[in-house]
Chain A
Amino acid sequence: AQKVTQAQTEISVVEKEDVTLDCVYETRDTTYYLFWYKQPPSGELVFLIRRNSFDEQNEISGRYSWNFQKSTSSFNFTITASQVVDSAVYFCALRHRYNFNKFYFGSGTKLNVKP
C-alpha cells in the first residue's frame, strides 16, 4: 500500500526564519517518485520538485532544499530565510513508476510566514 504522512498540520514562523516540512512515506515498490507541490490560496497546485527513488542526492534550488533519506522513508523540505510569499499549503506526494500518474498525496502542511 502507498501512503504519505505529513504530521505537521500547520506551522507558523516569522519572516527570515528557516523552516522544515516533514514527509514520511510508505511503499512496497522499489521504484517510485516523490514530489512536493505548493498550493497557494488560489487553489492551483504548483510543482516544486520530483525525486526518483534511486537518486538520494539532496537538492538545493535557491532558498529551497530537499533531504531524501530512503533509510527512514523521508523526503523533507526546507525553506531557508522564509518570506511572506511562502505562505501556502505544501503537499508531499508519492507515485509508483508504472502507476499511470496516480498520485498519493499527504494531507498537507499549512505554512504561515508572518512579517
Chain B
Amino acid sequence: DAGVTQSPTHLIKTRGQQVTLRCSPKSGHDTVSWYQQALGQGPQFIFQYYEEEERQRGNFPDRFSGHQFPNYSSELNVNALLLGDSALYLCASSSGTGGQETQYFGPGTRLLVL
C-alpha cells in the first residue's frame, strides 16, 4: 500500500517564477492538505482540498493556489516566487473531513528560491 507521494523531491527556482508541486494521497484517502515548513519551524497550514474544492485556507496570499483532480491527487501552485517561499512543502492526506481522521504526510518537496 503506497503512502503519500510527492514530486519533485527538490526544486530550484528564481524570484518571480512560478512553480507547481504534486501530491498523490494514500490509497483510500480523498482529502489533501498542504503545509509549508520553513527551516527550523513547524509546518504551517496552507489549504485543504476535498471533493475537488478548497475547503479551508490558512494565512497565505493568493499567490498560493491549488487544485484537486478526480483521482484525489493534488497540485500546489505558487506564482511570483519570493525568496521567503523557500521551504519544505508537505502534503498530507486523510479520509473525509469529519475531524477524527489522522493525516499521513508525504516526504515533501524542498523548494529553494534564488
Query: A residues engaging B (CB < 8 A)?
Result: 4, 33, 35, 37, 42-47, 50, 91, 93, 95-108
Contact of A95 among B58, B99, B104 (CB under 8 A): B99
Given A37-B105, A42-B107, A47-B104 in contact, is the A100-B41 Cβ separation under 8 Å?
A: no
Given A44-B107, A45-B90: A102 and B42 within 8 A (CB)? no
| Of the residues A35, A45, A50, A102, contact of B58 by C-beta under 8 Å | A102
Of B43, B90, B94, B104, chain A has the most CB atoms within 10 Å of the CB of: B43
Q: How far is the CA of A43 from the CA of B111 in the complex (A)?
A: 13
Encode contact with A along B23-43: 1 for CB under 8 Å, 0 otherwise. Answer: 000000001010100001111
Contact among A101, A103, A108 with B97 in the assembled complex (CB-CB below 8 Å): A101
Residue in chain B with minimal CB distance to A42: B107
Q: A98-B99, A100-B56 are in contact. List 16 more A-B contacts (CB 8 A).
A: A4-B42, A33-B99, A43-B107, A43-B108, A47-B102, A47-B103, A99-B99, A100-B99, A101-B92, A101-B101, A101-B103, A102-B58, A103-B33, A103-B43, A106-B42, A108-B41
CB distance from A22 to the nearest CB of B (A): 14
Let me know if A45 and B55 touch, CB within 8 A: no
Residues 39-66 of B at the A interface (beta carbon under 8 Å): 40-45, 48, 50, 55-56, 58
Is the Cβ of A107 less than 8 Å from the Cβ of B42? yes
Sample (5) of A-B pairs whose CB atoms are under 8 Å apart: A42-B107, A100-B50, A102-B45, A103-B33, A108-B42
Q: Which residue of B lies closest to A96 (CB)?
A: B99
Chain A residue nearest to B31 (CB atoms) is: A101
CA A79 to CA B48, docked complex, whole Å:
33
Q: Tell me whether B110 is interfacial, beta carbon within 8 Å.
A: yes
How far in angstroms is the closest Cβ of chain B from A39? 9
- How far does the alpha carbon of A104 sit from the alpha carbon of B41 in the complex, in Å? 12
Does B88 interact with chain A (Cβ within 8 Å)?
yes
- Map CB proximity to A onto B57-77 as digits: 1 under 8 Å, 0 otherwise: 010000000000000000000
Query: Closest Cβ of chain A: how far from B84's Cβ, in Å?
Result: 17
Q: Which residues of B contact A105 (CB under 8 A)?
A: 42-44
Q: Which of B41, B100, B110 contacts A107 (CB 8 A)?
A: B41
